Structure 1
Amino acid sequence: MAEPDPSESHADDRAEELVDDLVRALTGRAGLGRAQVAALAARDERTAVLLARIGHLTAADVDPEVRPYAALALLDEGRGLPEWARLFAADPSPDVRWKLASCPALPPDVVTILSADPDVEVVTELALWTTESPEAARLARHPHPEVRRAAAANPATPAPAVTALAEDPELSLTWVFAERTDLPQTLYARTAADPRPGVRATLARNPGIGPELIRVLATDPEDDVRRSLAQHPRAPLDVLVGLATTLRTWPDLLPRIAAATPSELAELAASPHAAVRMLVAQRRDLPAELRDALAGDRDAAVVRAVAPHPGLSEDRLRSMVSLHGVQVLAAVAANPDASGSLLEDLTRHQPPVRKVFKEVARHPNAAGPALLACLADRTARPLAAAHPALPAATLTALLSDEDPQAAQEAAANPALPRTVMTDLVP
């Protein structure tokens, strides 16, 4: 008897993968007719679930006994029928009842049934997701500790019921307390004494903690805790100033800085500490005079932070490069108002900066010469291949590029000549 050919099995698997890819692509298309949706839904349960979540299938299209998981998906999306919930609450499969327990707006009688389910995992899921506060509070007194823990983590469980669990000897709920925003300050203060830095860092970001605890956490010995505190939306500015001078800079604009008034911004921008001035420089809606003052800052890190700000003049951008060189090149290249000639000059800078090529390759103002320079960089090459300003001859040559991603981007580029597109189609 002949041995099976492994290549045939591999080809079959690949064919099945291609069919799956095609089905997934089709399910996401707009304008599918009812017959097309029905044909796709009939393929398998997974496809039917996807169609239900996307919105192609409605309650009228689904038989819950034939496609139970598609019906559950509709219930989860709030587009199912109440009688389906009652049907699934009595389903012999714990997996079905478990999925039902996480669905929103379940009928009260279904919630009652699920809360008494013989499978504790079903009850735990209900305790975590129910939006009925009285039921969530009742589940917080459930005899099983996992159910009580889930109820404590539910946003719908009233704060007094969660606070009562603080003395539960079977539970350790400090992570839950650190995340909830509606608990008493005394409970937050107890959580701040947790020896685990991760708990304290989570608490530091919690918008429910008050100013006294914010100042306590600002003195935490762990950098991660203080860095998390900087993300607090109501952190006092003097606390942020202290954090900025003791920690490394943050990659994103801090919430309190984003909400700062013009006078507060001006005060921070006048700080003798570059780290504080950087906090302001990360905003992208600064008054012109404040923006330009920061653009001329003596510290390269401040200039790098403000360089992508819209509205900076060509002369100002070039002055940044002249004063700070490679330290600000990539940030200047990211400025939305950078001209094509400036971008070309940045790609020719010596010594070169690799990040510049990525920024230029995706910049809408980049022209042919700058984009050609970007093709020489491995990471920027696919980005440049997708740019519509790339010369047609270069685009055509990239279709056979050794980098498959660059070739793919070139093929999808709208600037590719129509005759070349026609030749590509069988």
Structure 2
Amino acid sequence: MTESQPKKSRLPSRPSWRKGAEGAGKSPSRAPLPEGLRKLISAPKPRWLREIERSEAYARTAYTSTSTDQLAALIAKKDVSEETKLAALGNPFYPVDLLVAATQSDDRRIRFIAAGNPAMPVAELERLATDDACIVRAGVGGNPSTPAHVLEVLATDDDHDSEPQEEQLLPTGPEVRRAVAFNPSTPAHVLAMLMEETNCHQAIARHSNTPEALLQELATSEYTWVVADVASNPNTSRRLLTRLHKDADHFDVHKALASNPNTPTGILRAYVGERGLAAAAAGNPSTPSDALGALASRTHVNPDTYFLLRNLLENPATPAEAMERIAAENKKLGGEISHAVEYRGGRGCSRSRTEQSQRQAREDVLVAWNAEQSQG
């Protein structure tokens, strides 16, 4: 081939419709779309897709709305599903008059959700605490707005139920007493009343109001998960944590110790060098900065370092030079570290993510409601 002969292009030939557009003097980037594709894009959404999008928007409103008027308008719509209406019923910004009216329903599910709404008036909670349905009394027992004198009564509930129960709404066991044990507002003396119930021990072990005396008793439990919750409780003293470190022989207990900010620094230094426990120690703000800096050198991406790197990046105690080291290594590896932390760091399946987002939305709404109540 001589220099005067042009080289043949190896690029694929353009479609005829692109050639026609260029021949008409139009820019290639502005060429018209094929007729079939243009009709597909401009076609209206099918009815089934519009219904799905509308129901998803309703569900988001039910979980996240902080407007009483918006929730009232939502439940007044005829095309809102019963599931979405039940979700709205649990929103603390639900209209109070409609909330009280829901307690008169013959459906125990509706009374259960209404009984657990923090906006329920105290007088109604006192009345619902004597409801014939065990599940409704459990809703009152788990309501953070339930006063202490009502929780004292429910702590001795025998789970009697005069209504036939077609489906189990709560885990098997003492439903009402377990609900009281998990209630974040339950005071210490009521938690002490529940110590006789073994099925309540795990809730008491992780409760923020549990005193040291009860934690010491629970630390001798035969159940590993109870001891692990004691090890992770922020109320557990350093002395008890040190004892658990010496006596415990189960991995879950040591992992909880590695995550507890009250754990002595000497123990945390030891965990930094142990496989499986280093990731938990990496997220602990009480871990010494030099130990966190040493962990930052473990930038080889493998299943053992996903959580470690994520915890280091989220830990406010991680030194700036360690963060820079991770960032430099991430750039060298073409973003492999950040991809592993984001994608494989424990996000779970899509259903799990949906449940987590709904739970987080409800928690955010509850925070907004509590802030409004404190200002009022």
TM-score (norm 2): 0.58
The 1-side partners of 2:50 and 2:177 are apart by 45
Determine if the alignment matches structure 1 residue 229 to structure 2 residue 239. no
The 2-side partners of 1:22 and 1:89 are apart by 34
- Shift of the 245–361 alpha-carbon distance from structure 1 to 2, 3 Å rule, reads closer
Task: Structure 1: give runs of 5+ residues left out of the alignment.
Answer: 1-17, 30-47, 292-305, 313-331, 344-355, 364-378, 380-426
Equivalences for residues 256-335 of structure 1 within 5 A: 256=284, 258-259=285-286, 264-266=288-290, 283-284=312-313, 285-288=318-321, 291=322, 309-310=326-327, 312=328, 332=329, 335=330
1:53 to 52, 60, 63: 63
Aligned to 1:76: 90
2:125 to 91, 111, 119: 111
Structure 1 residue 210, shift from structure 2 partner: 0.8
Aligned to 1:190: 217
Structure 1 residue 237, shift from structure 2 partner: 0.8
Determine if the alignment matches structure 1 residue 85 to structure 2 residue 112. no
Structure 1 residue 28, shift from structure 2 partner: 5.1
Determine if the alignment matches structure 1 residue 133 to structure 2 residue 160. no
Aligned to 1:62: 75
The 2-side partners of 1:155 and 1:180 are apart by 7
1:199 to 226, 238, 247: 226
Determine if the alignment matches structure 1 residue 146 to structure 2 residue 159. no
The amino acid of 1:77's aligned partner reads N
Structure 1 residue 248, shift from structure 2 partner: 3.6
1:122 to 127, 136, 143: 136
Structure 1 residue 216, shift from structure 2 partner: 1.2
The 2-side partners of 1:178 and 1:248 are apart by 24
* SS of aligned partner of 2:255: helix
Asked whether the 8 Å contact 1:128–1:153 carries over to 2, the reply is: yes
Aligned to 1:100: 114
Map Cα deviations across residues 341-380 of structure 1 (whole Å, 9 max, x no partner). x74xxxxxxxxxxxx8x669899xxxxxxxxxxxxxxx9x
Aligned to 2:202: 175
- Shift of the 110–65 alpha-carbon distance from structure 1 to 2, 3 Å rule, reads farther
* SS of aligned partner of 1:149: helix
- Shift of the 192–83 alpha-carbon distance from structure 1 to 2, 3 Å rule, reads same
The amino acid of 2:319's aligned partner reads L
Equivalences for residues 18-33 of structure 1 within 5 A: 20-27=48-55
Structure 1 residue 206, shift from structure 2 partner: 1.4
Map Cα deviations across residues 233-273 of structure 1 (whole Å, 9 max, x no partner). 221110112333455443356343x355xxx42477689xx
The amino acid of 2:224's aligned partner reads P
Worse-matched range after superposition: 72-81 or 60-69? 60-69
Calculate the aligned-residue CA RMSD, in Å.
3.9
Structure 1 residue 178, shift from structure 2 partner: 1.6
- Shift of the 50–267 alpha-carbon distance from structure 1 to 2, 3 Å rule, reads closer
Structure 1 residue 49, shift from structure 2 partner: 5.0
- Shift of the 191–95 alpha-carbon distance from structure 1 to 2, 3 Å rule, reads same
The 1-side partners of 2:186 and 2:339 are apart by 51
Aligned to 1:415: none
- Shift of the 133–65 alpha-carbon distance from structure 1 to 2, 3 Å rule, reads farther
1:160 to 161, 186, 189: 189
Task: Structure 2: give runs of 5+ residues left out of the alignment.
Answer: 1-45, 160-173, 299-304, 344-376
Asked whether the 8 Å contact 1:181–1:209 carries over to 2, the reply is: no
TM-score (norm 1): 0.52
The 1-side partners of 2:94 and 2:55 are apart by 20
The amino acid of 2:262's aligned partner reads R
* SS of aligned partner of 2:278: coil
Aligned to 1:298: none
Asked whether the 8 Å contact 2:75–2:85 carries over to 1, the reply is: yes
- Shift of the 361–244 alpha-carbon distance from structure 1 to 2, 3 Å rule, reads closer
Asked whether the 8 Å contact 1:207–1:232 carries over to 2, the reply is: yes
The amino acid of 1:117's aligned partner reads D
Map Cα deviations across residues 222-242 of structure 1 (whole Å, 9 max, x no partner). 122112210112211101123
The amino acid of 1:138's aligned partner reads V
Structure 1 residue 191, shift from structure 2 partner: 1.0
Equivalences for residues 8-19 of structure 1 within 5 A: none
The 2-side partners of 1:239 and 1:252 are apart by 12
The 2-side partners of 1:52 and 1:280 are apart by 36
Determine if the alignment matches structure 1 residue 212 to structure 2 residue 239. yes
The 2-side partners of 1:247 and 1:360 are apart by 21
Asked whether the 8 Å contact 1:204–1:232 carries over to 2, the reply is: yes
Asked whether the 8 Å contact 2:102–2:110 carries over to 1, the reply is: yes
The 2-side partners of 1:131 and 1:361 are apart by 42
Aligned to 2:170: none
Residues paired across the two proteins, number: 263
Determine if the alignment matches structure 1 residue 240 to structure 2 residue 258. no
Worse-matched range after superposition: 183-192 or 237-246? 237-246
